């Protein structure tokens, strides 16, 4: 296998192929980053919505619960197809990347929302009561008191999710988004061995997710001290 | 005019009644000692007053103004004037001692930081913690944390201070440092509602003692009346048991 790869290498490592892979890596990175960043914000909004009480915000709460339960239960690929056909039904000429980006954001939002909610729920009840008694609003309580204490509970599962999520963006290849997995298949179809085509892709996936996992581990170590200083 | 006037106050935990028809008037500068067996509803009165448990009936008037606990704006105004110190201190674990005291005045009341910090330093010095400003709650003893909690409540400049079994979680040798702090406040004329099992302390500082059982006020009177000449059998039983210990 190694000799085959060595034999293939000069034909494989052309400028065109390398740019092809690099562009696909950027697409994967962009999908992952959008999912993680926008998904985190969406997840935070969902978690906060679910912490509200009183009848006025009940519809919003139900919407948040419905959203979370739906997108956590439906398989990634099915959500992707739903988004794909939903955009198609509107008749708008939306780039495939946008369809994939919307899908990953919806899914990441639902999962991260539950991770954030779990972290906030773990903050002791007496912290919420002390804040309420001093006239903190819900958002002020979350910002100044609950989130700073919840980070160390939120970050480990959140980073676990991010790393898993980078791999999940491979499913976007199913609707024709030219991301890493798609490129692996194209190169394989062009006659390069599976070992070389997917081996190259594997290395790029690793190069993206490993630093993220390391960064997560460092953050966790910093937050693992018994006190969790500052916001 | 009463500072605080509670009439017919009811409250429930789910379907279970925890307060039934509580009547209590508090004059300006009064120090009310709330005593009674565990589960009698003493702490619940304070929680209902602060809006942490919604009342299911009755009225609360602050300076003759009725307070609707279900109205957010009214609750905000009430919490601007009444502060509570909890049995478990409830200090914010992510903030230093100084931040715990300054956060609400600065971030919620929007007062200038420099002014608030100066006041906070003075308050913390007054409760004997002037050298612990940069410490975190989990670096302090229970008695120290409870004094920070008192300083935090005082930084809000409340008209009425609610103290919920503030010495119950403390080791015996730490109790006196917290009680000393409350004695100082009593001398300064702060209106206070004190839930406590420290009978000798209640007898010493309270202007009025309220004995509660099963979510009701059984008897109200001066410390001498309640401790030396209780009128009701329940009160007599409770007081005699307490005094035998």
pLDDT tens figures, B22-51: 999 999 999 999 999 988 999 999 999 999
The contact set of B with A (CB < 8 A) is 50-52, 76, 79-80, 83-84, 86, 88, 90-94, 103-104, 107-109, 136, 138, 152, 156
- Residue range A140-163, pLDDT digits in tens: 999 999 999 999 899 999 999 999
Q: How many whole angstroms separate alpha carbon A84 and alpha carbon B194?
A: 64
The contact set of A with B (CB < 8 A) is 126-127, 129-136, 140, 144-145, 148-149, 226-231
Q: How many whole angstroms separate alpha carbon A107 and alpha carbon B11?
A: 43
Enumerate the domain spans of chain A.
Answer: 2-223
Task: List, in sequence order, every residue forming a beta bridge with B66; answer none if it has no partner.
Answer: B61
3-state secondary structure of B189: coil
Average pLDDT over residues B129-146: 93
Angstroms from B148 CA to nearest CA on chain A: 13
- Residue range A71-111, pLDDT digits in tens: 999 999 999 999 999 998 988 888 999 999 999 999 999 99
Per-residue model confidence (pLDDT) at position B244: 65
- Residue range A110-124, pLDDT digits in tens: 999 999 999 999 999
Percentage of chain B with pLDDT > 70?
99
CB neighbours (10 Å) of residue A50? Answer: 21
With beta carbons under 8 A apart, name residues in chain B contacting A154: none
Per-residue model confidence (pLDDT) at position B1: 74
Average pLDDT over residues B91-117: 96
Average pLDDT over residues B59-67: 92
Per-residue model confidence (pLDDT) at position A40: 95
What pLDDT band is residue A231 in, cutting at 50, 70 and 90? very low
Q: Are A140 and A131 in contact (CB under 8 A)?
A: yes
pLDDT at B173 over 80: no
Question: Which among B84, B90, B156 has CB closest to A127?
Answer: B90
With beta carbons under 8 A apart, name residues in chain B contacting A134: 79, 83, 104, 108, 152, 156
CATH topology assigned to domain A2-223: MetI-like fold (1.10.3720)
What DSSP character marks residue A182?
H
What pLDDT band is residue B245 in, cutting at 50, 70 and 90? low
Please give the tally of structural domains in chain B: 1
* Average predicted confidence (pLDDT) for chain A: 91
* Average predicted confidence (pLDDT) for chain B: 92
Per-residue model confidence (pLDDT) at position A228: 52
ipTM for the predicted complex: 0.91
pLDDT at B142 over 60: yes
Vertex B29: Cα angle to B27 and B34 (nearest 5): 70
pLDDT at A230 over 50: no
Domain residues for the domain of B182 are 4-244
Per-residue model confidence (pLDDT) at position A92: 82
Per-residue model confidence (pLDDT) at position B235: 93
Please provide the DSSP assignment of A46-106 as one string: HHHHHH--SGGGHHHHHHHHHHHHHHHHS-HHHHHHHHHHHHHHHT----HHHHHHHHHHH
Per-residue model confidence (pLDDT) at position B52: 94
Average pLDDT over residues A197-215: 93
Q: How many whole angstroms separate alpha carbon B69 and alpha carbon B51?
A: 6
Per-residue model confidence (pLDDT) at position A225: 60
């Amino acid at each position: 296998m190694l000799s085959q790869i060595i034999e293939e290498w000069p034909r494989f490592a052309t400028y065109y192929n390398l740019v092809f892979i690099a562009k696909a890596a950027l697409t994967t990175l962009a999908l992952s980053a959008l999912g993680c960043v926008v998904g985190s914000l969406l997840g935070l909004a969902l978690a906060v919505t679910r912490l509200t009480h009183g009848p006025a915000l009940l519809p919003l709460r139900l919407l948040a619960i419905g959203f979370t339960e739906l997108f956590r239960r439906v398989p990634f690929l099915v959500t992707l197809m739903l988004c794909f056909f939903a955009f198609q039904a509107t008749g708008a000429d939306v780039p495939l990347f946008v369809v994939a980006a919307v899908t990953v954001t919806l899914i990441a939002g639902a999962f991260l929302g539950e991770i954030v909610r779990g972290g906030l729920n773990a903050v002791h009840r007496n912290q919420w009561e002390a804040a309420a008694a001093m006239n903190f609003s819900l958002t002020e309580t979350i910002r100044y008191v609950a989130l700073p204490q919840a980070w160390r509970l939120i970050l480990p599962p959140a980073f676990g999710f991010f790393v898993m999520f980078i791999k999940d963006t491979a499913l976007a290849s199913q609707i024709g988004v030219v991301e890493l997995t798609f490129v692996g298949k194209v190169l394989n179809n062009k006659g390069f061995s599976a070992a070389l085509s997917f081996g190259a892709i594997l290395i790029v996936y690793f190069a993206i997710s490993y630093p993220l996992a390391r960064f997560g581990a460092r953050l966790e170590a910093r937050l693992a001290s018994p006190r969790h200083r500052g916001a | 005019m009463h500072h605080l006037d509670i009439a017919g106050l009811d409250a429930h935990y789910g379907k279970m009644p925890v307060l039934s028809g509580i009547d209590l008037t508090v004059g300006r500068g009064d120090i009310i000692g709330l005593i009674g067996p565990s589960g009698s509803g003493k702490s619940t009165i304070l929680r209902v007053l602060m809006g942490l448990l919604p009342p299911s009936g009755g009225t609360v008037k602050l300076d003759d103004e009725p307070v609707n606990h279900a109205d957010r704006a009214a609750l905000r105004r009430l919490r601007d004037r009444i502060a509570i110190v909890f049995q478990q201190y409830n200090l914010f674990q992510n903030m230093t001692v100084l931040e715990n005291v300054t956060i609400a005045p600065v971030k919620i009341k929007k007062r200038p930081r420099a002014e608030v910090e100066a006041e906070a330093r003075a308050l913390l010095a007054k409760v004997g913690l002037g050298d612990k400003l940069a410490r975190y709650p989990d670096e302090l003893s229970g008695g120290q944390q409870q004094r920070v909690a008192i300083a935090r409540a005082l930084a809000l400049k409340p008209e009425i201070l609610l103290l919920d079994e503030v010495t119950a979680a403390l080791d015996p040798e730490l109790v006196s440092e917290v009680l000393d702090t409350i004695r100082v406040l009593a001398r300064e004329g702060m209106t206070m509602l004190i839930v406590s099992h420290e009978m000798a302390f209640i007898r010493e500082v309270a202007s009025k003692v309220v004995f509660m059982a099963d979510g009701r006020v059984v008897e109200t009177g001066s410390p001498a009346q309640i401790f030396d000449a209780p009128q009701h059998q329940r009160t007599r039983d409770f007081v005699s048991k307490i005094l035998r210990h």
